[in-house]
Amino acid sequence: MHPIRTEQGQVSGSDHDNGVSAFLGLPYAAPPVGGLRFAPPTPAEPWVGVREATAFGNAGIQILPGGSDLRAAQSEDCLYLNVWTPTADPEAKLPVMVWVHGGGFLYGAASEALYDGAVLAERGAIVVSFNYRLGVFGFLSHPETGTNFAVLDWVAALRWVQQNISAFGGDPGNVTVFGQSSGAAAVRALLSTPSARGLFHRGIIQSAGFEHPVSADYTVDSIVQLSNTLFERVGTTDLDALRSLPQDTVVKASLTRPAGATTPGRLHTPADLVWFPAVDGDVVTDGFAAWPDDMPVMFGTTQDEARYFHRPGGPVGGPPVSAERAYTSATLAVMAQTLVPRRADDVLAQFRDRGLSAYEALTELTTAAVFHEPTLATHQRFAALGRTAYHYRFARVSPGNRRSQMLAYHMSELPYVFGHMAAGDRPEADYDSGDTAIRDAMQHAWVEFARTGTPRTPDGEAWPSCQTTNPQLTVIADTVEIRPLDPSPLTRLIHSTRADAAAN
């Protein structure tokens, strides 16, 4: 493929065997270092000649290790994006799919192999992924500069897409932002970011986000308190002094507790999830400032989300141990009181009546309370608002996930969405022909949604949108089926506490 001209200069990429070209490590903003640390992003500098775009740009500083191979160095100089395209014809006007990576806003990178966009682009879309500032570097609050720098990074990446993507064969008037976990929370936050309005036209929210622009638990006051704690630890609030601190000093001061520390009797993810976008009334507002009435949204969860956090072989980061030893009835009781304080006894009674082990009960409880019930509330809210929204549940369990008992865990849908799986007929294969069929169906639905705003089954049937009467969702299991929205008794019980709280 010939070099492509962007607003910053010409770039050359590399060609894949499937006809897709990759352009990696393109700067979409200036390096946020020195005087630009803890500041909104500024435009990238232009260059002379042809820039070789065949290697990923730096990943953001990993506040805590995520366990994946980033395939890139870490640096505060991390505002780079990647483009995969099946054509460079400016007249092609293909749908554009912009991926926001997950990792609790603390780790992860667009360069991870799981997020490679080449296979998805082969379906007829331009795929873009980008890095952004993580943790304290993206979300510190300072009275002179504000907060939500990472949110502004996302906006800057979307603005780059508007300015440049037509040269890669994409349609700047048809941009879908999609993400998973904290990447999904980012998509949801963008719906409430006024400066993002008009920069994207569809959104896919996978396993996070839902009811709030970020989360009811993360407010601007909590970010201010966290930032004040950091200022105390490093001994200064002076912005120039903060910008001159070694990055390791900043990272260490940003942690609210040592990595892996636990509260006795309670489980938590090891990610120390405290640095989040917050509704500050400026960058992110309450409501839907960037969600036009005609913008469709797709959202959903996996069937067994919590098995990613509560592993069958023991907690993440700990030594391998049986589920019976790692997850006890005492832990279950504490978590029931924590997650459903108004009805904890009723929750535990349900589990006793069903004869579930503590581990099985715990994973169901966390999945229902953190993922499935908020998704139910979102379905109802979006339907009541008259928004065009599509609700799915991913429940396919591959042979490998059946053997490991991870089931349809948090992130398990990503190999299907991006198409990275090697199917085999042998019993020890991680994926089989059933999985490749579901991969094809999911990629078809995701790209069709990006192209037209309506996800469809492989035979052309439109997914049902959220409705207040006879609500339905699309279930992706061994086949793709449209089913009535029928929450589990546990999800219904938890949902009843939302109504009780509103009444009081």
Catalytic residue among 201, 372, 379, 410: 410
Structure tokens at 84: 């995969």
Q: Where are the alpha helices (H) located in 176-319, listed in sequence order?
A: 182-190, 220-234, 239-244, 247-254
The label of the residue with tokens 């993810």 reads 269
What's the confidence (pLDDT) of residue 215? 52
pLDDT for res 73: 98
Q: Is 7's pLDDT higher than 80?
A: yes
- Give pLDDT, residue 270: 41
- Is 215 one of the catalytic residues? no
Residue 425: pLDDT band (50, 70, 90) is confident
Angle between helices 247-254 and 220-234 (to 10 degrees): 130
β-strands 389-394, 297-302: how paired? parallel
Domains along the sequence of the chain with CATH: 4-206 (3.40.50.1820), 318-503 (3.40.50.1820)
Phi and psi of 417, rounded to 5°? -65, -45
Pick from 6, 197, 9, 24: which is nearest to 127 by CA? 24
Q: In the annotation, is 122 catalytic? A: no
Q: Judge whether 298 and 390 are in contact, CB under 8 Å.
A: yes
User: Tokens standing for 435?
Assistant: 């999985």
Range 254-266 average pLDDT:
55
Collapsed DSSP state (helix, strand, coil) of residue 451: helix
Q: What average pLDDT does the structure give for the chain? A: 93
> Which comes out higher in pLDDT, residue 60 or 266?
60
Higher-confidence residue of 219 and 71: namely 71
Strand partners, 4: 11
Give me the phi and psi of 146, to 5 degrees please: 80, -150
Q: What is the pTM of this model?
A: 0.96
What would you report as the CA-atom Rg of the chain, rounded to the nearest whole angstrom?
22
Asked whether 304 and 363 are in contact (CB, 8 A), the reply is: yes
d(CA 150, CA 189): 11
* CB atoms inside a 10 Å sphere around CB 309: 20
111, 181, 215, 227: the active-site residue: 181
395 CA to centre of own chain: 18
All residues at 6 or more sequence positions from 403 whose CB lies less than 8 Å from its CB, including other chains: none
194 and 285 Cβ atoms separated by less than 8 Å? yes
Percent of the chain with pLDDT over 90: 85
Query: Mean pLDDT throughout 410-436?
Result: 92
**Is pLDDT above 60 for 113?**
yes
Span 75-107, pLDDT tens digits: 999 999 999 999 989 999 999 999 999 999 999
- Strands (E) located in 56-109: 80-85, 94-100
Check residue 343 and report its DSSP letter: S
pLDDT band (50, 70, 90) for residue 212: low
Q: What is the mean pLDDT of residues 294-319?
A: 90
Task: Determine the average pLDDT of the residues in 319-327.
Answer: 83
pLDDT of residue 317 exceeding 60: yes
Q: Sheet of 80-85: strands edge to edge?
A: 14-15, 21-27, 80-85, 126-130, 94-100, 170-180, 202-206, 297-302, 389-394, 472-476, 480-484
Catalytic residue among 112, 305, 364, 413: 305
Mean pLDDT of 20-34: 98
Starting at the edge strand found earlier in the chain, the sheet holding 4-5 runs 4-5, 10-12, 50-52
pLDDT of residue 501: 63
Comparing C-alpha atoms, which of 373, 324, 365 is closest to residue 346? 365
Give the pLDDT confidence of 150-197 residue by residue, as tens digits: 999 999 999 999 999 999 999 999 999 999 999 999 999 999 999 999
Q: Is 75 a catalytic residue?
A: no
